[in-house]
Structure 1
Amino acid sequence: MTRRALWSLAVMASLLGGCASLPPAAPGPSLVLGSHERDQVLRNLPAWRASGQASLRSPKGAESFGFSWQEDPHQQEVSLRDPLGRTVARLSATAAGARLLLANGKQMQAASLGALLESVLHVALPVARLPDWLLGLPRPDEGIERNGDGLPEILHAEQWTIHYLAYAPVGGLLMPSLLQAQGPDGITLRLAITGWHFGQHP
């Protein structure tokens, strides 16, 4: 097994051991995986969570909120917070369907997470694509422009264009810390990711 492959395995083991916050202390260049190995590690992660701040603009208005997006083999979970840090909505989805719980106790169910998120944000977002966009993982059907490190700089995904404005080293990987997605009908979603957790949520 090559040294590069061994380092990829070591990074995977490290990521599964806990969480990381941005911005961490910058490691030396030899401690950060190249873009190809990075993608391989991330595609094989069984679970992860990203959290931070978001702003959403559309012809219907503008709002800012905190968010947490969690993926594992069994379900997706999304939490939205108001500017004071209070959770105002919790969304979860499994193979059986999706559920929304609001702070006032109101509950809703739907076939997909996207339908419930639209009922909260009043804007249709490409929810099926968002997990890969958060990770900075392009799909084969997405046009891509890369930066000097080989990482996505601009993705063209159907009616959406995603600009990766900043990355930060997290546990041996360069992870997005600031991105902006521009979609149809004047929709702009800007995400500042301030924390990553790799592995099952404790």
Structure 2
Amino acid sequence: MPSLSAALLVAALAGCAGMPVDTAQQDAAWQRHAAWVRAQHDWRLTGRFALKIGHRGWTASLHWRERAGDYRIDIFDPLGRTVAQLNGGPQRVTLRTDGSAPRHADSAAALMQAELGWSLPVAGLRYWVRGVPAPGTQPTRMQFDGSGRLAYLVQNGWEVSYLDYNEALGARALPARLRLVNGDVHLTLLVDRWGAAQ
């Protein structure tokens, strides 16, 4: 015969399952969170990523620093050797690889594809990695967690799933693990550490 506490727990869980989500409260939490994230113009992260395109795959670590609209992304192989350094701003992107002259272009993704044979969706990822949509185009779909943070986003052909958040800048939660999919391109990004740009 079940105990009284077990019966009460079952009843409580059954009641919670039918409780409607307060969408107004969730929307307000999302607006506050998004406004705070967008106000952080200077930031940096250290992390790792696994990229799979069809049957080909790459793993690497990266240091990403963003300051006043300019960014620098250093990419390292599993042994810690520098694979590439990407510097970008509103008008121009420069890619440096070991032993090669710097290459310039308007698009980071196109430049990486041409020089490395693979690319990251840098233009969108600058925003997605912080848990907000990229400006300029309306997301096709957005879903939120119970704290009003993005749980799932579809934008510019990419499906972005937010698998984990960690307390980061100013004790606010920022994404710690993301999965991005666009056709046969699969990208998993793990953020080990967030910080303010120096």
Q: Which TM-score tier does this pair reach, normalised by the shorter chain? A: 0.7 to 0.9
- Equivalents in 2 of 1:90, 1:125: separation in Å? 13
Root mean square deviation of aligned Cα: 1.9
What is the aligned partner in structure 2 of residue 177 from structure 1?
Answer: 176
SS at match of 2:110: helix
Match of 2:34 in 1: 39
Question: Which amino acid in 2 is paired with 1:141?
Answer: Q
- 1:14 is matched with none
- Decide whether the 8 Å contact of 2:142 with 2:154 is kept in 1: yes
SS in 2 for 1:180: strand
1:1-202 counterparts in 2 under 5 A?
34-59=29-54, 61-139=56-134, 141-142=138-139, 143-170=141-168, 171-184=170-183, 186-198=184-196, 200-201=197-198
Whichever of the two has the greater Rg, that structure is 2
Q: Is the 8 A contact 1:138 1:155 kept in 2?
A: yes
2: CA distance between counterparts of 1:133 and 1:96?
21
Deviation at 1:60, TM superposition (A): 5.4
How far apart, CA to CA, are the structure 1 residues paired with 2:133 and 2:41?
A: 18
> Which structure's relative contact order is higher, taking Cα pairs within 8 Å and 6+ residues apart?
1
Q: CA deviation at 1:193?
A: 0.3
Question: What letter corresponds to residue 61 of structure 2 in structure 1?
Answer: G
Aligned-pair identity (%): 26
- The total of aligned residue pairs comes to 166
Could you tell me which runs of 5 or more consecutive residues in structure 1 were left unpaired when the two chains were aligned.
1-33
Deviation (angstroms), 1:83 = 0.3
Q: 2:131 and 2:114 mapped to 1: Cα distance?
A: 26
Instruction: Give CA deviations for 1:92-117 in whole Å, capped at 9, x if unaligned.
Output: 12344221111224421222322222
2-structure distance, mates of 1:166, 1:50: 15
Q: Secondary structure at the match of 1:135?
A: coil
Structure-2-length-normalised TM-score: 0.76
Residues 154 and 164, structure 1, Cα contact 8 Å, conserved in 2: yes
TM-score by length of 1: 0.74
**Contact (CA 8 Å) 1:179, 1:192: kept in 2 or not?**
yes
Q: Unpaired runs of 5+ in structure 2?
A: 1-28
Could you tell me which residue of structure 1 aligns to residue 20 of structure 2?
none
Encode CA deviations 1:3-53: one digit per residue, 9 max, x unaligned: xxxxxxxxxxxxxxxxxxxxxxxxxxxxxxx54332212111121112200
Provide the rounded CA distance (Å) in 2 between the counterparts of 1:178 and 1:150: 17
Verify the 8 A CA contact 2:47 2:62 in the aligned structure 1: yes
CA-CA distance at 1:122 after TM superposition? 2.3
